[in-house]
Structure 1
Amino acid sequence: MDNYQKRIEISKKALVEAEFILIGAGAGLSAAAGITYSGKRFTDNFGPFIVKYGFTDLYSSSFYPFGTEEEKWAYWAKHISLNRYEIGATKLYEDLVELVANKKYFIISTNVESQFEKAGFPSEKVFQIQGDYGYLQCEKGCHDKLYENESLVTTMINKTSRCQIPSNLVPRCPICGGPMDVNLRKNAFFVQDESWHASDNRYKKFLQESIGKKIVYIELGVGFNTPGIIRYPFERMTYHNERATLIRLNKDHPECFEENRGKTISFTEDMQQVVTGFM
């Protein structure tokens, strides 16, 4: 067997023998599933915005300081719709359902497109810790309620003209009357509602139950934008549990802590190929 096949076989054995599986998902997973933030997918869908603002990709454009709320929401309506509503479940996420179906598992993800739930994972087993494109919140977080946005987003897109929406469609906070924002963790005003706290408690309970047990941490496309959420905790938990195995799928950053060598299996190959190999 070549090195790749050896890593596949070792990983499969660890997954079969695992009492617990914890999946940690980052932006690289969605990119591997086809939800890319640059290239043809971006240029095909954001032509007018590229011309007007000089945008180069969806990630950097999400930080653009729009001059008006009408411009801001014309952009965000399309951004949300493309990544949250216009795409169904992808094969890579569906394969993950099959991979862990008969195990005790949990998922923590910094992704915000709800692909896990679309693929069939129960919502109570998924913690989208950074928010959800499907909801709006008060821009200043004056209260902790979130608001579903699908209908409004569709109307905004249908009414967009010259990269602006009509003023009467600009969302306003029903409590303070101020601007609204997408429910994404990007500043100190990120709203953590009752559902977020329930997911947080379920995640903590899972971690507590799996202490010292035979567990596999599957880390999928997690980089260094927010390493303290998934990457570093997975490394730390692997180090402290002699029965743990960390499977890291990451084209750009497959390296691990020196102390975890022998307990970490790294893959830089195509993520869909590797996940299929586990099955």
Structure 2
Amino acid sequence: MIDWNSIAKKFKEADAILIGASNGLSITEGLHLFADNAAFERLFGDFKRKYGLGCILQGMMAGWPSEEEKWAFWTRLIHHYCGQYQPTPVMNDLKAIVGEKDYFVVTSNGEGHFELCGFDPTKIYEIEGNWFTMQCARPCHDTLYSSLEVAEKLSAAEQGGHVPTELVPRCPKCGGPMDIHMGAGQRMIPDTAAQARFQNFLKTYHGKKLVVLELGIGWHNQLIKAPMMRLVASEPNATYVTINLGEIYIADNIKEKSFGLDGRLDELLPALREACEA
């Protein structure tokens, strides 16, 4: 049995909430990077048959034959999952749980749904970049540029898996190709401003009552889960709440200050919201 009252008490007493999120949250919202499912077939069936793509992630990592085809893929992805996105119940529940408290979000999800749902972009650190921004592929400089408006324009012009050559984004400095900020791999420009804001958040709430809420993160995740468990271990007044389906891992040294909830986010977050609002 889940002790909702004890968990809700921690949230009500918290000075701030630190949210960590990964693929499990995206999957709950209907965005599955790893699946060859009906949604992938509807959006990318022609790419699947032409290039042998088995999932969205393969398209994100692909070495495309041309810039026209690369941007056709990214345009569809961004237009569908960002441009046409509407806040989902699970994200609305999350916003209600946070309420008026201060918060920060650390996520490896790049689709920008936190920002699109109204979370403050200055309180979000997308640790692996995002689809909203693009950079010089080389990169010849470290400026990030908006890609959402570009993708919406390209979406109207795409035909047969290509975008017009004259509309392909080019680096304003060197004239070379551009990459989505998330797709640049080892050349990805780090978001040092977001890193600094995250560190300032941690300094502000050092020693205070901090709830770390982890959503859909697998046990082996070294980008978010491992650092957050270390943070909870080092903060005497921190509480760790992890929600994941079929896989709950909590380090031994923080078990006494942790709650592990095994189940679907779209079932457990509404229950948590109800408990917090009671």
TM over 0.5: yes
Deviation at 1:185, TM superposition (A): 6.0
Q: 1:233 to 1:185 in 2, by over 3 A?
A: farther
Residue 253 of structure 1, aligned match among 244, 247, 253: 247
Map 1:208-219 → 2, pairs under 5 A: 208-219=203-214
Deviation at 1:205, TM superposition (A): 1.0
Deviation at 1:174, TM superposition (A): 1.3
Q: 1:42 to 1:69 in 2, by over 3 A?
A: same
In the alignment, the residues of structure 1 paired with residue 29 and residue 13 of structure 2 have an alpha-carbon distance, to the nearest angstrom, of: 27
Deviation at 1:22, TM superposition (A): 0.7
Residue type of the partner of 2:32? T
The 8 Å contact of residues 18 and 216 in structure 1, kept in 2 or not, is answered as yes
The 8 Å contact of residues 219 and 249 in structure 2, kept in 1 or not, is answered as no
Partner of 1:36: 32
Q: What is the root-mean-square deviation of aligned Cα atoms in Å?
A: 1.9
Residue 60 of structure 1, aligned match among 58, 61, 67: 58
Map 1:20-169 → 2, pairs under 5 A: 20-37=16-33, 38=35, 39-169=37-167
Deviation at 1:252, TM superposition (A): 4.4
Number of equivalences: 271
The 8 Å contact of residues 173 and 179 in structure 1, kept in 2 or not, is answered as yes
Deviation at 1:229, TM superposition (A): 2.8
Spell out, residue by residue over 1:188-226, the C-alpha distance to the aligned partner (whole angstroms, 9 max, x if none).
32124xxx333222210111122222211001112368x
Spell out, residue by residue over 1:6-37, the C-alpha distance to the aligned partner (whole angstroms, 9 max, x if none).
2x332112111212211111121121122233
Residue 185 of structure 2, aligned match among 179, 184, 187: 187
The 8 Å contact of residues 136 and 147 in structure 1, kept in 2 or not, is answered as yes
Residue 274 of structure 1, aligned match among 263, 268, 274: 268
Residue type of the partner of 1:234? M
In the alignment, the residues of structure 2 paired with residue 206 and residue 149 of structure 1 have an alpha-carbon distance, to the nearest angstrom, of: 28
Spell out, residue by residue over 1:230-261, the C-alpha distance to the aligned partner (whole angstroms, 9 max, x if none).
11111101112232211011124311112222
Deviation at 1:276, TM superposition (A): 1.0
Q: 1:155 to 1:275 in 2, by over 3 A?
A: same
TM-score scaled by length of structure 1: 0.90
The 8 Å contact of residues 90 and 115 in structure 1, kept in 2 or not, is answered as no
The 8 Å contact of residues 94 and 120 in structure 1, kept in 2 or not, is answered as no
Q: Identity rate of aligned residues, in percent?
A: 30
Deviation at 1:85, TM superposition (A): 1.0
Partner of 2:194: 199
SS at match of 2:135: strand
In the alignment, the residues of structure 1 paired with residue 237 and residue 154 of structure 2 have an alpha-carbon distance, to the nearest angstrom, of: 51
In the alignment, the residues of structure 2 paired with residue 35 and residue 234 of structure 1 have an alpha-carbon distance, to the nearest angstrom, of: 24
In the alignment, the residues of structure 2 paired with residue 186 and residue 256 of structure 1 have an alpha-carbon distance, to the nearest angstrom, of: 32
Partner of 1:239: 233
SS at match of 1:262: helix
Residue type of the partner of 2:79? S
In the alignment, the residues of structure 1 paired with residue 219 and residue 252 of structure 2 have an alpha-carbon distance, to the nearest angstrom, of: 18
In the alignment, the residues of structure 1 paired with residue 208 and residue 223 of structure 2 have an alpha-carbon distance, to the nearest angstrom, of: 21
SS at match of 1:184: helix
Spell out, residue by residue over 1:33-55, the C-alpha distance to the aligned partner (whole angstroms, 9 max, x if none).
22233322111111211111122
Q: 1:185 to 1:9 in 2, by over 3 A?
A: farther
The 8 Å contact of residues 216 and 243 in structure 2, kept in 1 or not, is answered as yes
In the alignment, the residues of structure 1 paired with residue 179 and residue 240 of structure 2 have an alpha-carbon distance, to the nearest angstrom, of: 36
Residue type of the partner of 2:168? V
In the alignment, the residues of structure 1 paired with residue 247 and residue 184 of structure 2 have an alpha-carbon distance, to the nearest angstrom, of: 23
| Unaligned runs of at least 5 residues, structure 1 | none
| Unaligned runs of at least 5 residues, structure 2 | 274-278
In the alignment, the residues of structure 1 paired with residue 234 and residue 185 of structure 2 have an alpha-carbon distance, to the nearest angstrom, of: 32
Residue type of the partner of 2:25? L
SS at match of 2:171: coil
